[in-house]
Structure 1
Amino acid sequence: MGSNSSPPAVLQFCYENVNGSCVKTPYSPGSRVILYGVFGVGAVLAVFGNLLVMISILHFKQLHSPTNFLIASLACADFWVGVSVMPFSMVRSIESCWYFGRSFCTFHTCCDVAFCYSSLFHLCFISIDRYIAVTDPLVYPTKFTVSVSGICISISWILPLVYSGAVFYTGVYDDGLEELSSALNCVGGCQVHNVKLQARVP
């Protein structure tokens, strides 16, 4: 009697000849092409779309306003997400492996956190700006000036950069989580920092 059971799937690893390599979960060739196409288009739109916003606001003097400067700074943060985060996250998501080294993993994760938090800060300040403009339009021009916009932009960049740099380059995120780090660590992975950071944030 013939058996109808299919043969067990063969495990694939990110680095076949390296001990402790992460397990690879490959997509079919067709799926990979589609995913690379979709994610690639998203990254290109993020880069060139935000670049267009920055150039437009900085080039045309009639667009020079406190609110638009905030928008241009927000576009700059999203631009750097498209340049330094999205392409490498795309490869990691599709290939299920990290091929860029541990040091660049730390830098990539640091950029991811810094630029995403920077975007959130910008959105908060833009919301405050719009709220003041709607609720108190007569005194809005004296309350939200270019200098105030500059302070908001500085805060939106300095705090996220200092925070992410301190977290990922001083080892603070690793305190008390050495066992978790050891259990999750494998060659070809870049998820450890994210997991440890989430474990520390309530």
Structure 2
Amino acid sequence: MDHRWTLNQSIIQENPPLCYASLNNSCVKTVYPMETRTFMYILFSFITFFTLFGNLLVIITIIHFKQLHTPTNYLILSLAVADLFVGGAVMPPSMLRLVETCWYLGNLFCKIHSSLDVTMCTASILNLCIISVDRYYAVCHPLLYHVKMTTNITLIMIFACWALAVFVGFGIAFLELGILGAEDFYYNNIACEGGCIVYLSKTASVVIDVMHILVR
């Protein structure tokens, strides 16, 4: 009995489950027990729902009440839109990938999903930076606040924030800026069928960090 169990264990270790068993360059798949998968799906579904509900409530409230149409609330609205897209477009496919440990939605949608992921997360971070600038002038320079943070200036900052986020997000996935300087390493050691990750080389990381610092 022990010998048979050891033999089966060695076979499993030598032939791990793959995302696509018929492909040589398939990613290795981790198979979770059904109870674990069910719990993860329920947990991630609740997180996604509350992310959508909370941000949608913020968006509707600011748009509906005209007295909330202020530069500060425009920044909060922009942040809520970014987080709404994270909850609606990024989190559901990410949930499927985390639970199944494989990407079964195709290479094109992988690039689109990765682009949206990086774009919305970058937009969210940049919006928080702009909000911190807004609060800085409101608290530390209240007399200059209405001069420095007008509606037009706020809208220009929001546009610049989203333009940079879109360039970074779609550049990493479609222009392959994320693997800049490490193309051979990525395709030989990282890339595989059934995988969908956002890989950043050292060069790409430095460039993105510098761009974030310049914006701040």
Same fold (TM over 0.5): yes
2:48/2:91 contact within 8 Å kept: yes
| Offset at residue 199 of structure 1 (A) | 6.4
- Structure that is richer in helix per residue: 2
| Superposition pairs of residues 26-175 of structure 1, within 5 angstroms | 26-175=31-180
**Structure 1: which 5+ residue stretches go unaligned?**
none
| Offset at residue 2 of structure 1 (A) | 5.5
Match of 1:20 among 21, 25, 28: 25
Aligned position for 1:185: 191
AA in 1 matched with 2:153: V
- How many residues are matched? 200
Using the size of structure 2 for normalisation, the TM-score is 0.85
2:72/2:134 contact within 8 Å kept: yes
2:205 is equivalent to residue 201 of structure 1: yes
AA in 2 matched with 1:186: C
AA in 1 matched with 2:128: L
Q: Distance in 2 between matches of 1:98 and 1:153?
A: 33
| Offset at residue 184 of structure 1 (A) | 1.9
Q: Distance in 2 between matches of 1:2 and 1:29?
A: 26
Q: Distance in 1 between matches of 2:145 and 2:166?
A: 30
Using the size of structure 1 for normalisation, the TM-score is 0.90
Percent identity of paired positions between Structure 1 and Structure 2: 41
| Offset at residue 15 of structure 1 (A) | 1.8
AA in 1 matched with 2:205: V
| Offset at residue 141 of structure 1 (A) | 2.0
Q: Distance in 2 between matches of 1:173 and 1:121?
A: 19
Q: C-alpha deviations, 1:114-158, integer Å up to 9, x for none?
A: 110101110001001011101122332232111111011111111
**Structure 2: which 5+ residue stretches go unaligned?**
207-216
